[in-house]
Structure formats: structure tokens, C-alpha cells
Amino acid sequence: MKKLSLFFLLNTVVLMAFAQSIKNNNLLMLQKKEDSLKEYSLKMVQGINAEARFTADSIFTKMFVRALLTKNSFNYPFESLETISKLYAPDSSFRIFTWQMVINDNVVRQHGAIQIKTSDGSLKLFPLIDKSDITVQLADTLANNKGWIGAVYYKIIETKSGNKSYFTLLGFDENNMRSNRKIIETLNFSNDEPIFGGRLFSFEEDSVARPSVSRYIMEYKKGAGARLTYDDDLAMVVFEHLESESNEPTKKWTYIPDGDYEGFKWKNGKWIHVEKVFNLITPEGKEPVPNPVKNAEGNTDEDKLQNNNPVENLAPAKKKPTQTVPKKKAAN
């Protein structure tokens, strides 16, 4: 019971921190709108047919824009909208909303918007229009918000090149009945307008060089569960290497993870491809072996039993240097 009370208390504190610049009457209005939005956000996913989902999506979008028109709505988290991805930029200059709409088993569309933080609390919004179905070169297209390559984003990373900020987005696309996609996308702002893509993914350090691309797309077999994440310790985007399980490299729906990991490391203003992230190889003959406390006859080795610490036993202990304390001179 105490844990539950603490949970609600923390949620209340977070909500108050976000909403501290929203006037009470506006805050109450947003909370009321959020209750209605929650209902339609669920129907967008749970609707029994495409028509029901379309209707819910249309109503949700109109209601959502009206809610965002509330002054200082940028500070309102919309936490209960669980089917909507909500990511704030690390520098809090904008936030991005994304969600998906399943039309049928073979057609999935993503919707979204970028809300810019404004000094007076007014709304500055860029709707995201998914054009991935009519874009020929998905990996090489430079686009604004009206030519967006759709995805539901789950991670945002900020990097810099000189004085310019680049935001890297990791996203998921349910694509079609045979394959899923995960996308590494870049976003920057030019003349206060959003620009997606840019030849920032370089393979110049690969054993076999290939041209740079504007975004990196992993397409793989439905249900294969390929991993794509950002590792803070490595400061690197890390993802599973894919290969065709049927040796048909042109058929992306046959790709599955093979156990190796690749990555991208931000260097000199671009993402440099790392062919093998975890490349530690155990030398032949140096494989780890068990260190039993009993010998072949079944007798216990007392020294091993009392001193069985493989880390400490890797090297002999070093003796501490003996310090010579100078004798005091006798007083004259």
C-alpha cells in the first residue's frame, strides 16, 4: 500500500513539474481533453475494422490539435495516451508525437507531429505526413515534414557538429504482413523548418567501402525481433546484424539476426559505421576452464577451498615496499 501511494505521489509531482507554467483553468481543460483523447487513441488500435480505426484517428487528430492550442501545452505530458509515442528533445527545444494506423494486414501508416517550444506558449506545430509508400529511394531521400518516412519513435539522441544540433531518432515500422522495419533517422532544423535525412551515415571505415546514406533501415522477417538501441556506455547506436535465412539477400522478409552486432559511432559530424561492435576473441588454447576444489582422487584441496578467488589468483600478490623510518638525532 505504501509503494502504491508513493507511485501516485511521484506521478503527481512529475505532472506538477511539467504543468507548472500552465494556468489552473488551462490545466483543467487539458486534463479533461486528455480523458477524451485516451478513448480515441485506444480505438485507433483496437477498432474492429479499418473504417472504425480511420474514424477514431480522424477524431483523435482534430481533438489533439485543439488541445495543443491551449497556451503552454508544450509542458503538458499527456501521460495517459499510451498508444502515442511522446519524445522530448534532450535540449527541450521540441517534442515529437508519433503513432501508427493499421489499415489492413499489408498496409500500415504512421502519423505524427512536431511541437516546437515557443517563448510565449503559443502553438507551433508541424504535422508529419507519411510518404514512405510512394518514396522510391527510402534510404537516400531528404525530406521535410510533408515527405516524412514514417515510424513510431522510441528514442531520441542529440549530437552536434560545430554549432549545429542533429537529433537521431530510433523508430519502428510494422511495414507489412511479411516484414518489419527499424529505422535510424536524423532530424535537424533549417530556417526553423524540420529536415529529415542527410548523408550522415558513413561506411568509410568498413573493410569494403560503400556510399553514405541519409537514413539507415533494417528490414527483417516478421517476428524475428531484431534489436536496435543506443548504448550510453559505448556512446553508440547498436543493432543486430541481419542475414537471409534462405540465402536470398534480395528478399528482406527472409532476414533474421545472426548473433553479431553492428553500430554507428558519432565522429566528425557524422555517424561512422562499426562493422563489429563486440570483437573480443579468445585465443586458441586460452579458453576458460573449471578450477575444481577436488583433485582426481576426490580429495579436497584446502588451499583452493579457502583461496578460491579466480580474479585475485590471476597474478601473485605484490609485496608492499618497506618504508624506512629515519631515526631521530639525539639532542646535543
* Measured distance CA(205)–CA(44) in Å, rounded: 44
- Report the C-alpha gap between 236 and 213 in whole angstroms: 18
How many CA atoms does the CB half-sphere of 45 hold within 13 Å?
12
Task: Read off the pLDDT of residues 180-210 as tens digits, 9 standing for 90 and up.
Answer: 999 999 999 999 999 999 999 999 999 998 9
**Strand runs labelled E in the chain:** 85-88, 94-104, 107-116, 125-129, 152-161, 164-173, 179-190, 193-196, 201-202, 216-221, 228-231, 236-244, 255-267, 270-274
Mean predicted confidence (pLDDT) in 105-113? 93
For 272-323, the pLDDT digits (tens) are 999 999 874 445 655 555 556 566 566 666 555 455 444 434 444 444 444 4
Model pLDDT for residues 7-31, shown as the tens digit of each residue: 445 444 444 555 457 889 999 999 9
Q: Please write the tens of the pLDDT for every residue from 147-162.
A: 999 999 999 999 999 9
241, 261 contact by CB (below 8 A): yes
Give residue 207's pLDDT.
94
Q: What is the mean pLDDT of residues 77-91?
A: 97
Look at the block and give the residue holding cell 506538477: 16
Residue 40 has pLDDT above 60, yes or no: yes
Instruction: Identify whether the C-beta of residue 110 lies closer than 8 Å to the C-beta of residue 93.
Output: no
Contact 134, 140 (CB under 8 A): no
pLDDT of residue 228: 98
Helix axes 50-68, 24-46, angle to 10 degrees: 160
Q: 224 in helix, strand or coil?
A: coil
pLDDT, residue 105, reads: 83
> What are 211's three cell numbers?
556510399
Tell which residue, 96, 124, 272, has the closest CA to residue 196.
Answer: 96
Given a contact cutoff of 8 angstroms between Cβ atoms, the answer to whether 92 and 139 are in contact is no
Find the DSSP H helices in the chain: 2-18, 24-46, 50-68, 302-306
**Residues 125-143: what's their mean pLDDT?**
95
* pTM of the predicted model as reported, rounded to 2 decimal places: 0.79
Could you state, in order of their start, the residue ranges of all structural domains in the chain?
A: 12-67
* Higher local confidence (pLDDT), 320 or 86: 86
pLDDT in tens, 235-284: 999 999 999 999 999 999 999 999 999 999 999 999 999 999 987 444 56
Residue type, 217: I
